[in-house]
Amino acid sequence: MRDTLPYFLGIDVSTTATKALLIDASGQVAAVAATEYPFETPRPLWSEQHPRLWWDGAQQSIRAALAQAGIDPAQVGGVGLTGQMHGLVLLDEAGEVLRPAILWNDQRTQAQCDEIHRRIGRERFIQITGNVALTGFTAPKILWVKENEPEVYAQAAHILLPKDYVRYKLTGEFGMDKADAAGTVLMDLKARGWSEEVLTALEIPRAWMPPLYEGPQITGRLTPQAAAVTGLKPGTPVMAGGGDQAAQAVGVGAVTEGIVALTLGTSGVVFATANGAFIEPEGRLHAFCHSVPGKWHLMGVMLSAAGSLRWYRDTFAPAVGFDELLAPASEIAPGADGLLFLPYLTGERTPHPDPLARGAFVGLTVRHTLPHLTRAVLEGVAFGLRDSFELMKSSGLGEIRQVRVSGGGAKSPFWRQILADVFGCELVTVNTTEGAAYGAALLAAVGAGTYESVEAACRSVIQVTGSTAPHAEQVGAYEALYPLYRGLYPALTPTFHALRGEDDSHPRSP
């Protein structure tokens, strides 16, 4: 009977809320609950959050999900964890939090990034970790605390990421999955373990770093104390899980080479699974371990994807719905009659890690109307996302056969068609829409033995619900336009940097 089958819990510790999602053994969502909380910006460039918010949110959301599903807690066969990446959680020897966590969107550490490259060498650092040192990552945050808060640093004994603090509260165990750990830039990416060379060069004690696990592995079991406050059963296994992007990819089935996940939200993320540790030589793509055991991934991040369309609508047609805004743009030919849009409204990350990059319409004439501008915005975002695809291809990744698209922007059939035409490959939608929390729950189901592998789990529960094939004629039109788009950033960069304004001291989301 259904009510005797196991359920699996995915917990997503995001920047704004902790979500708890229950699925049954067939992958059907049984309950979803979320508890919201704020983050603080005590100074310009800073972004912090106290870990107790995540643990309080987890307790509330787990209890709410169990009540919503109406199941016996003994039926929960495992818990998977996911959440915001890169945040620094420092604990003392007793496991007490030493200071608020420094989050992924904190921008205070540029000097420490430069110091990391100085100590190790930029090229060597890329070859070890798969990435350049960026302000969002964990390693420069550790150096910042050492240099600016020595009294805190002197008490440190454990380094965790946000979801792993919740793991510690659930199990009493320190642990971290390899996908999220790769985002600390303290790992040897190819060896899938902590890098002794990087830790030694940065003078970070190896003893501070927790054991590493593959995504479905059991990292501990629920303590009686955690069971009492969450409503779960003592001894329930807690699996490693993954950082939010890796778990999101599991949630849409992007777990084999050739299938790429595209998240078209406020920001845009292009995520490609790889069977080897492909590293972009200049570090323009992020290279991390995957939540799938023995696999890696490449990731490109665009800061203003659907966010560009929202800004455009709110600024030029605030009373118009998105469907109404986009409909007349579909009557405009590809290329919007010689109009291009550069979507760097909040700076950029891939392929140009430049906080001073700016947006622009280029080619405006009196013949251009609102529908022309609308189409140019949609095409500009598509071109910007294609930049990540091109970098992935040049890094040695195999053929991209299919793009699995999700997020608010993916709801538009017109925009999906533009994306398929610009990329020159099929775009599909799938039946799962709960993202990272769903992926974490699937990883728990794999770890509990319900599925023999992550790939098998995805084949079983994730189905394609729609397909958009590229149109050959429009593919050709965009092939001619794409080099023109690519030329805009280098041509306009001196102007962007000369126009630096007061707002450039504020942090930006990646």
DSSP 242: E
Strands 89-91 and 158-160: antiparallel
Q: Is 314 a known active-site residue?
A: no
Is residue 251 a contact partner of residue 27, using CB atoms and an 8 Å limit? no
Which one from 177, 180, 188, 244 is the annotated catalytic residue? 244
* 381: pLDDT strictly greater than 60: yes
**C-alpha pair distances (Å), 373 with each of 326, 364, 366, 400:** 10, 9, 12, 30
| Angstrom distance (rounded) from CA 309 to CA 341 | 11
pLDDT at 407: 87
In terms of Cβ atoms closer than 10 Å to its own Cβ (0-12, 13-18, 19+), residue 191 is: exposed
* 217: pLDDT strictly greater than 60: yes
* 189: pLDDT strictly greater than 60: yes
**Which residues of 276-425 form beta strands (DSSP E)?**
286-289, 296-302, 340-342, 360-362, 402-406
pLDDT single digits (tens) 228-277: 999 999 999 999 999 999 999 999 999 999 999 999 988 899 999 999 99
Of 435 and 33, which is predicted with more confidence?
A: 33
* 505: pLDDT strictly greater than 60: no
Work out the average pLDDT over 101-118.
Answer: 94
Work out the average pLDDT over 90-113.
Answer: 95
pLDDT at 3: 52
pLDDT at 398: 78
Write the single-letter amino acid at 154: A
Question: What domains appear along the chain, each with residue ranges and CATH number?
Answer: 2-245 (3.30.420.40), 306-387+472-501 (3.30.420.40)
pLDDT at 45: 86
pLDDT band for position 433 (cuts 50, 70, 90): confident
pLDDT at 376: 98
| Angstrom distance (rounded) from CA 400 to CA 277 | 17
Low-confidence winner among 4-8, 182-186, 428-432 (lowest mean pLDDT)? 4-8
Residue that has been written with the tokens 């529908």 in this structure? 371
pLDDT band for position 428 (cuts 50, 70, 90): very high
Residue that has been written with the tokens 């089935």 in this structure? 253
| Angstrom distance (rounded) from CA 240 to CA 243 | 10
pLDDT at 400: 87
* 332: pLDDT strictly greater than 50: yes
pLDDT single digits (tens) 334-362: 999 999 999 999 888 899 988 889 999 99
Name the most confidently modeled range: 36-40, 266-270, 381-385.
Answer: 381-385
* 507: pLDDT strictly greater than 70: no
Q: How much of the chain is helix, strand and coil, in % rounded to 5?
A: 40, 20, 35
Helical axes 472-486 vs 488-498, angle rounded to 10°:
40
Instruction: Using DSSP, state whether 77 is helix, strand or coil.
Output: strand
pLDDT at 435: 86
Work out the average pLDDT over 115-122.
Answer: 98
Work out the average pLDDT over 52-59.
Answer: 98
pLDDT at 1: 30
Work out the average pLDDT over 52-66.
Answer: 98
pLDDT at 55: 98
Is residue 372 a contact partner of residue 336, using CB atoms and an 8 Å limit? yes
Work out the average pLDDT over 440-446.
Answer: 98
